[in-house]
Amino acid sequence: MQIQTPIRVPSWFSTRRHLEQKLTDLHKCTDLNQVKQLHALIYKTHLHDDLFIVPKLMSAFSISGKINLVVNVFNQIKNPNVHLYNALIKAYVRSCESKKALSVFVEMGNFGVFGDNYTYPFLLKAFSGELKFSFVKMVHAHIEKLGLYADVFVTNGLIDAYCKCGVMGVVEARRLFQVVENKDVVSWNTMIRGLVKLGEIGEARKMFDEMDEKDTYSWNSMLDGYAKTGKMNVAFELFERMSLRNVVSWSTMVMGYCKAGDIEMARMLFDRMPVKNLVSWTIIISAYAEKGLAKEAIGLYKRMEQEGLRPDNGSIVSMLTSCAESGMLGLGKRVHGSIERFGYKCCVEVNNALIDMYAKCGNLSRALSVFEGMMSRDLVSWNVMIHGLAVHGQGEKALHLFSKMMQEGILPDTVTFVGVLCACCHAGLLDEGVHYFYTMEREFGVVPEIEHYGCAIDLLGRRGRLQEAVSLIDEMPFEPNVKIWGALLGACRKHNAVGLAEEVQRHILKFESTDAGTFSMLSNIYAAAGDWDSVSSSRLRVKRTGSRKRSGVSSIMLDDGGYEFSVMDTSHPNSEEIYQMVGDLSHHLKQLSSLPNAV
């Protein structure tokens, strides 16, 4: 039986030893209130400059996202040692402030504090999204000077960082991999991953085969490599040989079959997965959405919700992007509902994807209202909205938005100008477009790419300034592609420039395109000029080369799925009734339009 202490004491009033025990796991504490209480306790017991406790406190605040508290605690310390600097760097990395992480590193150097085996992996992770070869080389030099090669974490971090720097980086990584003495599974896996990401799957396979202690990471990296390059038969062969398959292995296979267009196989594997998680659901739903299979996509989305899974930011963005590609408004709206319900409204990427989805599905007003309701917008938000307006023929509104964007101090990039020029093309704002093309580099520092030239040639051509369009093609620092010549050919058609059209045609033929669109364009040009002999000879050429113009298709989404139809299409089982209805409708419309008040 236990004896109760007669006097109740406040919980913080305990021996230092007791307190230290309480603080052992402080750095893992995720409850902010508890951390704050412990912080007060630390203050009261004069432990706020203890070099073992303070880094833990910093880490705890950093987990809760309280970067300013981390900095406050750090600033209390007169002569911070390497552990404190590490904690601060790590905190900045966690809150995605890589620039600040770097400046802390520079600062510690200025105070004569050397980095240790923790500092460098943090620093490399800070820039993991945008690693420059020269930066990694610099870090490498530091590591070598300080003799930190003995730590696998350091060398693995370095190998990983090099692998993220493209071809040059991977060469350096492989050299390092060979030089380094202590290697573990992670070193091998990192190297294999780097090769896979670079597309060097053969080299990756060689290393994989050499490995004797492969783990699930190694197998999964290979699966990913084969899945991304469409080699599903090889991927499947490996998959079958795996002894320890996990969710990632299954999901990678499902994704691979989706990418290869074999959604049936993907679905079969998905149904057989022993454990599904959010990523697996996202992959299969996105695949159905991309294919326009609305019924399946929405059904699976419902089932996912029933299983109690909430989509996260990544999942939402992925599904919305797929909806945008196939024009699937139904699922898009449902996902929008989840965004509202689960409070993702402040995530910029989610809103950007939402705007794009609504715009691509033709619901401009909803796109606009999402755009206007955003608390903060980034460059992509403006770009998608401008482009959305542009392709819907709302050129003036798009340009208005463009000027508003600059008023708010956002600098346009190369994508912005594709949207701006596209807006001018679609809305017939020819002179404005030509003006933007000629000033984009001088005034905004955005160097025109081939897409911008394409728009400019289209604009000049439509205006009838054919000579200028031709000289622009000569001047441009790119080899003209089919699209460039196509734009010029369109201009020839509009302005009956038969001679030039024939010349353009010769260029287009060099591309050995089987698309007969250009042939029929040329024959239309002859027809407009009244040159009927040439019309028939060019039509003959279409027949002789066996090229066919892929006819345009329209699609429509109904409750039970998507339908495609084209000219003279009789593939639908009820096509007879459909044509009957269309006939009735157009008859009805004709009658209406003959009335005096017809619009």
Residue 313 CB burial class (10 angstroms; 0-12, 13-18, ≥19)? middle
Q: Which is nearer to DNA, 236 or 526 (CB)?
A: 236
Residues 367 and 358 sit within 8 Å (Cβ to Cβ) = yes
Whole-Å CA distances, 306 to 255, 276, 311, 312, 338: 22, 13, 12, 16, 13
Beta carbon of residue 158, minimum distance to DNA (angstroms, whole number): 9
CB of 217 to DNA, least distance (A): 3
Residues in contact with 127: Cβ distance below 8 Å, sequence separation at least 6, in sequence order: 98, 102, 135, 161
Rank residues 23 and 139 by Cβ distance to DNA and give the closer one: 139
Nearer to DNA, 133 or 153 (CB): 153
C-alpha to C-alpha distances, 118 to 28, 261, 338, 397, nearest whole angstrom: 17, 45, 40, 52
Residues near DNA (CB under 7 A) are 121-122, 125, 128, 152-153, 156-157, 160, 184-187, 189-190, 193, 215-217, 220-221, 224, 228, 246-248, 251-252, 255, 277-280, 282-283, 286, 311-315, 317-318, 321, 324, 348-349, 352-353, 356, 378-381, 383-384, 387, 391, 414-415, 418-419, 422, 449, 451, 454, 483
Phi, psi of 515 (to 5 degrees): -75, 120
CB of 223 to DNA, least distance (A): 8
Closest contact distance (angstroms) between CB of 312 and DNA is: 5
- Structure-block tokens of residue 505: 């045609």
Q: Which is nearer to DNA, 273 or 529 (CB)?
A: 273
CB of 351 or CB of 523, closer to DNA: 351
Which residue from 148, 149, 88 is spatially nearest to 123, judged by alpha carbons?
Answer: 88
Rounded Cα distance between 312 and 303, Å, is 16
Nearer to DNA, 41 or 389 (CB): 389
Burial of 165 (0-12, 13-18, 19+ CB in 10 A): buried
Q: Is 478 helix (H, G, I), strand (E, B) or coil?
A: coil
Of the two residues 23 and 367, which places its CB atom closer to DNA in the complex?
367
132 DSSP assignment: -
Q: Which is nearer to DNA, 416 or 505 (CB)?
A: 416
CB of 272: closest distance to DNA in angstroms?
A: 15
Task: Tell which residue, 61, 2, 4, 1, has the closest CA to residue 27.
Answer: 61
471 to each of 104, 465, 468, how far by Cα in Å?
A: 53, 10, 5
Q: How far is the CB of 122 from DNA (least distance, A)?
A: 6
Which CB atom, from 39 or from 397, has the smaller least distance to DNA?
A: 397
- Min. distance of Cβ 190 from DNA in angstroms? 4
What is the nearest approach in angstroms of DNA to the Cβ of residue 184? 7
Distance CA 266, CA 289 (A): 14
For 554, phi and psi rounded to 5 degrees?
-110, 155
Handedness of CA 307, 309, 310, 311 (dihedral sign): negative
Residue with Cβ nearer DNA (221 or 538): 221
Q: How far is the CB of 25 from DNA (least distance, A)?
A: 19
Which value, to the nearest 10 degrees, does the dihedral of the CA atoms of residues 326, 328, 333, 336 take? -20
Contact 560, 554 (CB under 8 A): no
Closest CA to 169 of 147, 197, 203, 211: 197
CB of 582 to DNA, least distance (A): 31
